[in-house]
Amino acid sequence: MTGPGPLPPPSAGEGTLRSRGGEGQRDGSGYAARRDLSGSVAPLSRPSLTREPPSPAEGGGKAEAPQNIWPDALRAARLLAADPHGFGGAVVRAGRGPVRERWLDDLRAMLPPGTPWRRLPPGIGDDSLLGGLDLAATLAAGRPVARAGLLAEADGGLIVVPMAERLPPGIAARLSAALDTGTAAEHPARFGLVLLDEGEGDEIVADALADRLAFRLDMSGVGIADCEAPAVAADTNPGPPETDPLGSLCRLADALGVASLRGPILAARVARALAAEGPIGTDAITAAARLVLAPRATRLPTPEEVTSEETEAPPPPPAEDGPTEDATDPAPADAAEDRVLEAVRAAIPANLLDQLLAGGVRLSAAKAGRVGQPAAARTGRPIGSRRGDPRRGRLDLLATLRAAAPWQPLRRVAGETRPIVVRRDDLRIRVLRQRTETTTVFCVDASGSAALERLAEAKGAVELLLAEAYVRRDRVALVAFRGAGAELILPPTRSLTRAKRGLSGLPGGGGTPLAAGIDAALKVALGVRRSGSRPVIVLLTDGRANVARSGEGSRARAGAEALQAARALRAAGLPALVIDTGARGEGARAVADAMAARYLMLPRADAGLLSAAVRAAL
């Protein structure tokens, strides 16, 4: 085979991979730099970042290990840096931390000098995103003066979108349209997107936008140690050439249940870039399928089953008058496709397999009001106005007119004929106070001293509070203590389903290790505060501790340790609420006093009253 086969024409920059800082420099033919991408992992300026992913025979398994994910993430970064608009971008599912920042730093280092790198601010409006009228310049010139928006400023580069799972639908639609047309308000806007997905539970990036991006990287299980793996030499062998690469990718997409045609089209672009100027081989097809098709899989590929009849049936006799020459044997091609399919199957993330087996389909959690106006929790409430640039905030028209009004007589004397003369210094923008995210840590006494009906009422009250926290977009955590210790039933999350599941499966019985429960709640709350959220502890107990931290059944020692733990919580300065589930109201009140917490009695047989009391207390 002498050519790459029938593939879609590459976009601008595709197959011509740019380098920076001397890495992957091209020789006279320009082939060496492209060959850097044909290996399993393209070498970077820091060799310690690359590592060859092990084959399935070396212990690959169905779930990718972190040491396999990181090299693929680096390869996707190199491809994206070569042609941001051609590959569309990447969805990076990872929380804030050193791993995500390391990948972003590496991606930015791969870009040629001067490549635009922009960050999409929350609450951006259409005028700032697409461009529009430059108000200050228009007022100064006395005629309309247009300005480019963020999308046009990022032409040829990348736009990083934090918290992409909360992107308003209007903004997502405008980004999708700009990716399709390469323009924004008649300005050139050929950019790529890096969507940082920090969602939990049902929160995901809008499917219509993610479908336009070639790469989906899940680095939630990667540690910083995986990023420091020793380097190995990149494999420059492209593998045996494929006679029908686009057909192979389409068949792989069908086997994986990828319905959108963008999947195989983007995979073909990746394969074309990996193969550079040479023919597309099996290795390039495998890498493209791993990077593009495997994260889009909606079903598990399975080998075709051979029925017993087919196995037992003898082969048909050769035709007497048929040709004697051997027909083309398709076995090698079929074997190559099977190897590629098995490699892609090994690349499917384990959490994706769990979702497929559970039959669940997650829906996007992005919600907004009118176009460009995100939810109030994202922007905060207005508390005034200040002098500023309308491109970096929302113009406060009334405050601007008030600021300009006293100067009108002087400005008209200077020869101005306009009814209202507004200067740049008059412009005012709104000041918004951001609402701090709250994480409610529920610490529930599930010991035998809590009567079954009281525990049921406490569960009902907590379930109501969970639903209200979900509406406010707050996070919740659940700690239970019983027997000899405490257990974190549910780490901080916004998923109402997970919270209800953990609460419903909470058993009752055993001793009351109250000190261990308070210690566990304090540990969770301190971690929440370090992450920038505001923790609130809600303790539901009767206060009758009878199990010490060591597991010893001593009521006196357990009570002293419980008060000691309560005073430690008070010293940490954490707001807390103690809900007494007992009948006499003695021990729980002492604990509440020790931690300087609000004290409430559990209303009899009415979880709704408790919910209202907690809302008033918090």
* pLDDT above 90 (res 69): no
* pLDDT above 90 (res 91): yes
pLDDT tier for residue 289 given thresholds of 50, 70 and 90: confident
Please tell me the predicted confidence (pLDDT) of residue 215: 93
Please tell me the predicted confidence (pLDDT) of residue 524: 92
Please tell me the predicted confidence (pLDDT) of residue 155: 92
Answer with the residue of higher pLDDT: 305 or 157. Answer: 157
* pLDDT above 80 (res 461): no
Residues 453-464: what's their mean pLDDT? 67
Please tell me the predicted confidence (pLDDT) of residue 584: 64
Mean pLDDT of the chain: 72
pLDDT tier for residue 406 given thresholds of 50, 70 and 90: confident
CATH, range 438-617: 3.40.50.410
8 A C-beta contact, residue 348 and residue 289? no
* pLDDT above 60 (res 57): no
Among 3.40.50.300, 3.40.50.460, 3.30.70.141, 3.40.50.11750, name the CATH number for the domain at 31-235: 3.40.50.300
Range with top average pLDDT, 393-402, 459-468, 579-588: 393-402
Answer with the residue of higher pLDDT: 420 or 115. Answer: 115
8 A C-beta contact, residue 128 and residue 149? yes
pLDDT tier for residue 125 given thresholds of 50, 70 and 90: confident
Residues 6+ apart with CB under 8 A from 319: none
* pLDDT above 80 (res 87): yes
Residues 82-101: what's their mean pLDDT? 90
Please tell me the predicted confidence (pLDDT) of residue 151: 92
CA distance 288 to 127: 38
pLDDT tier for residue 39 given thresholds of 50, 70 and 90: very low
* pLDDT above 80 (res 301): no
pLDDT tier for residue 380 given thresholds of 50, 70 and 90: low
* pLDDT above 80 (res 77): yes
Report, in this order, helix, strand and coil percent for the chain, each rounded to 5: 45, 15, 40
CA distance 571 to 219: 37
Please tell me the predicted confidence (pLDDT) of residue 4: 42
* pLDDT above 70 (res 379): no
Burial class for 269, CB neighbours closer than 10 Å (0-12, 13-18, 19+): buried
List phi, psi (to 5°) of 363. Answer: -110, 150
- 3-class DSSP state for residue 507? coil
pLDDT tier for residue 85 given thresholds of 50, 70 and 90: very high
Cα 469 to chain centroid distance, Å, stands at 21
Answer with the residue of higher pLDDT: 567 or 346. Answer: 567
Please tell me the predicted confidence (pLDDT) of residue 356: 41
Residues 176-202: what's their mean pLDDT? 86
What's the token pair of residue 307? 């029925």
* pLDDT above 60 (res 311): no
* pLDDT above 50 (res 243): yes
Please tell me the predicted confidence (pLDDT) of residue 176: 92
User: pLDDT tens across 204-226, in order?
Assistant: 788 889 999 999 998 887 877 77
Q: What residue type is assigned to position 453 of the chain?
A: E
Answer with the residue of higher pLDDT: 254 or 450. Answer: 254
User: Lowest mean pLDDT: which of 184-198, 264-278, 502-516, 523-537?
Assistant: 502-516
User: Lowest mean pLDDT: which of 216-220, 281-285, 467-471?
Assistant: 467-471
Residues 411-435: what's their mean pLDDT? 75
User: pLDDT tens across 541-595, in order?
Assistant: 888 888 888 888 888 899 899 999 999 999 988 888 888 877 666 788 889 889 8
Please tell me the predicted confidence (pLDDT) of residue 568: 92
Residues 254-262: what's their mean pLDDT? 86
Cα 84 to chain centroid distance, Å, stands at 20
Q: How many CA atoms lie within 13 A of 147 on its CB side?
A: 14
Answer with the residue of higher pLDDT: 272 or 1. Answer: 272
User: pLDDT tens across 312-326, in order?
Assistant: 444 555 444 444 444
CA distance 266 to 8: 9
Question: CA 80, 83, 87: angle at the middle one, nearest 5?
Answer: 65
CATH 3.40.50.300 in the chain, residue ranges: 31-235
Please tell me the predicted confidence (pLDDT) of residue 240: 65
CA distance 18 to 159: 19
Residue from 151, 26, 34, 43 nearest 82 by CA: 34
CATH 3.40.50.410 in the chain, residue ranges: 438-617
* pLDDT above 70 (res 113): yes
Please tell me the predicted confidence (pLDDT) of residue 283: 81
Please tell me the predicted confidence (pLDDT) of residue 167: 86
Answer with the residue of higher pLDDT: 54 or 227. Answer: 227
Q: What residue type is assigned to position 328 of the chain?
A: T
